[in-house]
């Protein structure tokens, strides 16, 4: 009798201790979060957009570079979210409307950049960064005036109005680092203006390497930046090298920076249903992500977001007869490229279109300030702006930031939250509830062991949870008592 009662007492204690542990993680994380939020000076964002990069493009790159069981850099990120991409007027977005949504937090019509459907100019995250005294940078493997980069600085009814877009970059902005193709789009006068505004014009890898501070205009082709299968490896810097140089320059600004890096030709290769091109572009993009990741790991005041504007091609990667040999950093770049091409040719794919699709795209994130986010989540592309804008303003990053904006920013966002597919239904429905703190707690307990934060006091919904837990605890105690009695 004494034995069993001590045993039951200790099991009761155990049950309550574990209940306590389950209900407390909230307290200590919010203090970390608070520290990050209060040190808003110097906050920086690296946003990387794989144009046309759906999860299957990522998979293709993975199979070719590291094999089906390996990980690309982006695969290792702690956050892997799903993003809906429709534009204001189309179920399937183009790059212009998607860039505008990500850059401004507003949906617009296809082909428009930096403007709402009625033609109103919108403020972009790059402009917000400029107004906060931060440095800014744009890197693209297409050209600086193409839809994705243009969405971050231009206001135009048509993405094809390259003259206006270029003029706005030259006359209305002070983007410290511009690296892409497209030199011939600048007039001679505009180039003179840029140089008298302090830009060093560089046109190859050696010249890029020689610049270590100040403003750079790096134009690596008169037309579009070359594609990965044909790029002159000795002359044209890779997207990874452009990203690395951008970080070296921009990080010298104590006020912080905003850098957008576009892997632009994942989209073009996918439009061509080209397996080799798509694989090589996705891998090159991932190499650039690796430099950004190293930077963010060393700088806790920076967050890294990797996403896509839409999927292209309706790609499905279905089988392979891959060789054992993998590309290796110790091999020559040209050899690795040949090996990648050979491996890509041994992957079987199907494509359902030569256009874009409405498939949700990934958002991989990395950074200390994101600690209160759930590991998996479903959002709309305008919410990417919300994350960046909230971060720059020193606000706390947790899933409650989407609820405020989905009701106030645009009408589109409220319609999207109800759309996502069944796999994410639970998370989506909790994100639309009016009680932020409860939705976070629910998601954390189900999807991740990482403690979530909320600085809010325990709110009514946790009552239900407490009652459930109490009933569960009572049941456990009863079972334990019965078992001990039977002994
Ligand atoms: Zn695109």
Phi, psi of 337 (to 5 degrees): -65, -45
Contact yes or no for 301/42 (Cβ under 8 A): yes
The secondary structure of 61-81 as a DSSP string is HHHHHT-TTS--TGGG-SEEE
For residue 278, the CA-to-ligand 1 centroid distance in Å is 13
Using CA atoms, how far apart are residues 177 and 433, in angstroms rounded to an integer?
Answer: 42
Q: Which residues contact 18 (CB under 8 A, 6 or more apart)?
A: none
For residue 95, the CA-to-ligand 1 centroid distance in Å is 4
pLDDT confidence tier of residue 382, bands split at 50, 70 and 90? very high
Min mean pLDDT across 87-96, 158-167, 168-177, 426-435 is at 426-435
CA–CA distance from 369 to each of 63, 301, 303, 387, 469 (Å)?
31, 8, 7, 11, 31
List, for residues 305-331, the tens digit of each pLDDT value: 999 999 999 999 999 999 889 999 899
- Residue 329: is it exposed, middle or buried by C-beta count within 10 angstroms (0-12/13-18/19+)? exposed
Q: Which residues contact 241 (CB under 8 A, 6 or more apart)?
A: 205, 208
For residue 267, the CA-to-ligand 1 centroid distance in Å is 6
For residue 473, the CA-to-ligand 1 centroid distance in Å is 52
For residue 41, the CA-to-ligand 1 centroid distance in Å is 32
For residue 52, the CA-to-ligand 1 centroid distance in Å is 5
Q: What is the mean pLDDT of residues 177-184?
A: 98
Q: What is the mean pLDDT of residues 385-407?
A: 86
For residue 84, the CA-to-ligand 1 centroid distance in Å is 14
Three-class secondary structure of residue 118 per DSSP: coil
For residue 361, the CA-to-ligand 1 centroid distance in Å is 11
Using CA atoms, how far apart are residues 280 and 229, in angstroms rounded to an integer?
Answer: 7
For residue 145, the CA-to-ligand 1 centroid distance in Å is 13
Helix 55-65 to helix 333-344 angle (10° resolution) is: 120
Contact yes or no for 99/153 (Cβ under 8 A): no
Identify the H or E element spanning 303: strand 302-307
For residue 369, the CA-to-ligand 1 centroid distance in Å is 28
Q: What is the pLDDT of residue 347?
A: 97
Sign of CA dihedral 58, 64, 68, 69: negative
Residue 25 scores a pLDDT above 70: no
Phi, psi of 137 (to 5 degrees): -150, 145
Q: List b or e across 312-326, with b for residues whose CB sees 16 or more CB atoms inside 10 angstroms.
A: bbbbebeebebeeeb
pLDDT confidence tier of residue 481, bands split at 50, 70 and 90? low
For residue 51, the CA-to-ligand 1 centroid distance in Å is 4
Residue 36 scores a pLDDT above 60: no
Q: What is the mean pLDDT of residues 376-384?
A: 97
CA–CA distance from 335 to each of 241, 267, 380 (Å)?
18, 25, 40
pTM: 0.77
pLDDT confidence tier of residue 41, bands split at 50, 70 and 90? low
Q: Which residues pair with 364 in a beta bridge?
A: 80, 306
Higher pLDDT among residues 464 and 151, named by residue: 151
Q: What is the pLDDT of residue 483?
A: 59
Q: Which residues pair with 82 in a beta bridge?
A: 362, 378
For residue 96, the CA-to-ligand 1 centroid distance in Å is 7
Q: What is the mean pLDDT of residues 74-88?
A: 98
For residue 356, the CA-to-ligand 1 centroid distance in Å is 8
Domain extent listing, the chain:
2-25+435-486, 33-420
- Provide Rg for the chain, Cα atoms: 25
Q: What is the pLDDT of residue 458?
A: 36
For residue 310, the CA-to-ligand 1 centroid distance in Å is 6
Contact yes or no for 246/139 (Cβ under 8 A): yes
For residue 359, the CA-to-ligand 1 centroid distance in Å is 13
Higher pLDDT among residues 70 and 407, named by residue: 70
List, for residues 131-172, the tens digit of each pLDDT value: 999 999 999 999 999 999 999 999 999 999 999 999 999 999
CA–CA distance from 306 to each of 92, 260, 284, 366 (Å)?
20, 10, 14, 9
Min mean pLDDT across 219-223, 289-293, 348-352, 448-452 is at 448-452
Helix 239-250 to helix 275-298 angle (10° resolution) is: 20
List, for residues 184-230, the tens digit of each pLDDT value: 999 999 999 999 999 999 999 999 999 999 999 999 999 999 999 99
Higher pLDDT among residues 297 and 446, named by residue: 297
Higher pLDDT among residues 439 and 272, named by residue: 272
List, for residues 432-458, the tens digit of each pLDDT value: 333 333 333 333 333 333 333 333 333
Identify the H or E element spanning 138: strand 135-143
Q: Which fold has domain 33-420?
A: Alkaline Phosphatase, subunit A (3.40.720)
Residue 335 scores a pLDDT above 70: yes
List, for residues 99-113, the tens digit of each pLDDT value: 999 999 999 999 999
For residue 309, the CA-to-ligand 1 centroid distance in Å is 5
pLDDT confidence tier of residue 403, bands split at 50, 70 and 90? confident
Interstrand relation of 177-181 and 135-143 (parallel, antiparallel or unpaired): parallel
Residue 479 scores a pLDDT above 70: no
Identify the H or E element spanning 140: strand 135-143
Residue 28 scores a pLDDT above 60: no
Q: What is the pLDDT of residue 467?
A: 55
For residue 251, the CA-to-ligand 1 centroid distance in Å is 28
Higher pLDDT among residues 473 and 179, named by residue: 179
HEC string for 306-340:
EECCCEECCCEEEEECCCCCCCCCCCCHHHHHHHH
């Amino acid at each position: 009798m004494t034995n069993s009662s001590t045993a039951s007492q200790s099991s009761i204690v155990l049950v309550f201790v574990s209940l306590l542990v389950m209900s407390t993680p909230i307290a200590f994380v919010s203090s970390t979060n608070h520290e990050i939020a209060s040190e808003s000076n110097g906050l920086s964002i690296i946003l990387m957009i794989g144009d046309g990069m759906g999860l299957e493009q990522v998979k293709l790159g993975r199979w070719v570079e590291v094999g089906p069981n390996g990980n690309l850099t982006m695969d290792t990120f702690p956050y892997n979210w799903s993003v809906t991409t429709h534009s204001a007027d189309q179920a399937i977005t183009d790059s212009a409307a998607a860039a505008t949504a990500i850059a401004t937090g507003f949906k617009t019509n296809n082909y428009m950049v930096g403007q709402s459907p009625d033609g109103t100019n919108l403020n972009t995250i790059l402009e917000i960064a400029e107004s906060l005294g931060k440095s800014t940078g744009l890197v693209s493997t297409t050209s600086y005036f193409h839809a994705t980069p243009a969405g971050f600085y231009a206001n135009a009814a048509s993405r094809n109005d390259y003259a206006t877009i270029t003029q706005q970059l030259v006359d209305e902005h002070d983007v410290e680092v511009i690296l892409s193709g497209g030199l011939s789009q600048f007039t001679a006068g505009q180039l003179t203006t840029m140089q008298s505004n302090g830009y060093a014009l560089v046109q190859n890898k050696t010249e890029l390497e020689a610049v270590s501070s100040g403003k750079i205009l790096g134009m690596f082709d008169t037309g579009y930046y070359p594609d990965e299968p044909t790029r002159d490896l000795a002359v044209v810097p890779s997207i990874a090298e452009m990203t690395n140089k951008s970080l070296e320059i921009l990080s010298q600004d104590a006020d912080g920076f905003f850098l957008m890096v576009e892997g632009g030709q994942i989209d073009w290769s996918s439009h061509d249903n080209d397996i080799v091109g798509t694989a090589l572009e996705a891998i090159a993009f991932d190499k650039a992500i690796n430099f950004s990741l190293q930077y963010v790991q060393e700088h806790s005041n920076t967050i890294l977001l990797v996403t896509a504007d839409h999927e292209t091609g309706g790609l499905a990667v279905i089988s392979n007869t891959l060789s054992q040999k993998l590309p290796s950093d110790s091999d020559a770049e040209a050899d690795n490229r040949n090996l990648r091409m050979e491996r890509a040719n041994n992957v079987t794919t199907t494509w359902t279109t030569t256009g874009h699709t409405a498939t949700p795209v990934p958002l991989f994130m990395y950074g200390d300030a994101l600690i209160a986010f759930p590991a998996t989540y479903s959002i709309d592309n305008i919410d990417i702006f919300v994350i960046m804008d909230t971060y720059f303003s020193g606000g706390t990053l947790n899933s409650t930031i989407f609820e405020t904006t989905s009701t106030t920013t645009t009408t589109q966002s409220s319609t999207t939250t109800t759309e996502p597919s069944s796999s994410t239904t639970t998370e989506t429905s909790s994100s639309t509830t009016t009680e932020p703190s409860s939705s976070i707690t629910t998601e954390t307990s189900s999807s991740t062991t990482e403690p979530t934060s909320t600085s809010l006091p325990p709110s009514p919904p946790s009552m239900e949870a407490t009652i459930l837990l109490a009933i569960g605890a009572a049941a456990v105690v009863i079972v334990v008592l019965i078992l001990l009695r039977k002994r």
